[in-house]
Amino acid sequence: MELHVIFGTGPTGAAAMRALVEQGKAVRMVNRSGKPSPATGSALPANVEICAGDAYSAASVRSLTAGAAAVYQCAQPEYHQWVEKFPPLQAAVLEGAAANGAKLVLMENLYMVGDTGGAPIHEGLPHNAHTRKGRVRAAMAEQAMAAHRSGKLRVTSARASDFYGPAYMVTADQVFYAALAGKRAQGMGNLDVPHSFTYTEDVGRALAILGTHDAADGRAWHVPTAPAVTQRELLGKVFALAGTTPKIGAVGRGMMRLAGLFVPAAREMVEMMYEFEQPFILDSSAFTQTFGMTATPLEVGLRATLDWFRAHPRAA
């Protein structure tokens, strides 16, 4: 069976694993512990293994990716450590994959594009990052594509908007556990402007497509994403599916700045609040036109996400 190696066992890596298994691939997942994560679950398919490895070491990556057809970079450091730790992590994965002649598939976001003033975001926009983390993302993306252009290895990337999905814990307490318990759910910024939300299972499907199609090479692709909705609409749908009475609040820039005095991740989020203060709309039409994949309808993805959080109570 053709081997595909995924660095990271979080929701996107786990979703990519499931999509690759459906294609009949052998999958090696790599994390620090070598143990399953909540996102992967403990009952792994027979053709999936989880190995301990150091993604910051090119030698470790080279050893773990020997014989691989494609390598998927879904790992990342803690949010407040991106500037220091993300570039060397990705550089090591790139070097290790290149040593084995494997194709590299990057999981990226939209930070490198910068503030479009509410205009839809498509793959043709230049990198115009104005935030620290956006500049980090832009530099990493440009270095990877430079390696592709030089012939060092084949590279492609998937870019997505803000995630939601099973086991995605960033929105767990603020949205899904809150709605299931009938408590107040928290959005961010302006709740009444359209915003694109990308389903993590769609990210996994897209990664698997990019890793197995030569037509994907040499550029970034936006993951198929359902039509943008306002956060108020999204949260209303979550409460309706949960069967509880809607209670909706919002965290503004000032509150995020205050929280940042105590929580490093919140401090890092302040510079990204522009995404939630104006329309933030992802155009993913190029992926659908090229590969035929469409996004999961929002209600279907939200129902599956709620089902996961219901089956995995916070106390556990």
> Residue 314: what pLDDT?
82
Q: Measured at the alpha carbon of residue 221, what is the angle toward residues 216 and 227, in degrees to the nearest 5?
A: 135
pTM over 0.75: yes
Cβ(13)–Cβ(39) below 8 Å: yes
Q: Is residue 290 part of a domain?
A: no
Confidence check: pLDDT of 17 > 80: yes
DSSP letters, 221-247, are EEPP-PPPEEHHHHHHHHHHHHTS---
Q: 128 and 264 share a domain?
A: no
Q: 68 and 78 share a domain?
A: yes
Q: Is residue 285 part of a domain?
A: no
Please state the rounded mean pLDDT for residues 162-175. Answer: 95
| 102: DSSP letter | -
CA 244 distance to own-chain centroid: 28
Q: 98 and 178 share a domain?
A: no
> Residue 29: what pLDDT?
98
Q: 190 and 204 share a domain?
A: no
Q: 123 and 177 share a domain?
A: no
CA distance 45 to 43: 7
CA distance 70 to 154: 9
**Which residues face 250 on adjacent strands?**
187
Q: 137 and 202 share a domain?
A: yes
Q: Is residue 314 part of a domain?
A: no
> Residue 316: what pLDDT?
46
Q: 182 and 236 share a domain?
A: yes
The pLDDT-based confidence of 204 (bands split at 50, 70, 90) is very high
The total number of structural domains in the chain stands at 2
Task: Give residue 116's domain range.
Answer: 3-162+197-222
Q: 172 and 216 share a domain?
A: no
Cβ(268)–Cβ(85) below 8 Å: no
Taking only the tens place, the pLDDT of each residue in 92-135 is 999 999 999 999 999 999 999 999 999 999 999 999 999 999 99
Q: 158 and 92 share a domain?
A: yes
Compute the mean pLDDT over every residue in the chain, rounded to the nearest whole number: 97
Q: 62 and 97 share a domain?
A: yes
Strand 248-251 with 3-7, pairing: unpaired
CA distance 296 to 53: 33
Taking only the tens place, the pLDDT of each residue in 169-203 is 999 999 999 999 999 999 999 999 999 999 999 99
> Residue 315: what pLDDT?
63
Q: Is residue 119 part of a domain?
A: yes
> Residue 102: what pLDDT?
98
Q: 179 and 66 share a domain?
A: no
Q: Is residue 106 part of a domain?
A: yes
Q: Is residue 287 part of a domain?
A: no
Q: For 171-230, where are the alpha helices, taking DSSP H only? A: 177-180, 200-211
Q: 117 and 210 share a domain?
A: yes
> For residue 49, what is the domain's CATH number?
3.40.50.720
Q: Is residue 110 part of a domain?
A: yes
Taking only the tens place, the pLDDT of each residue in 217-252 is 999 999 999 999 999 999 999 999 999 999 999 999
Among the candidates 206, 222, 238, a domain finishes at: 222
Q: Is residue 49 part of a domain?
A: yes
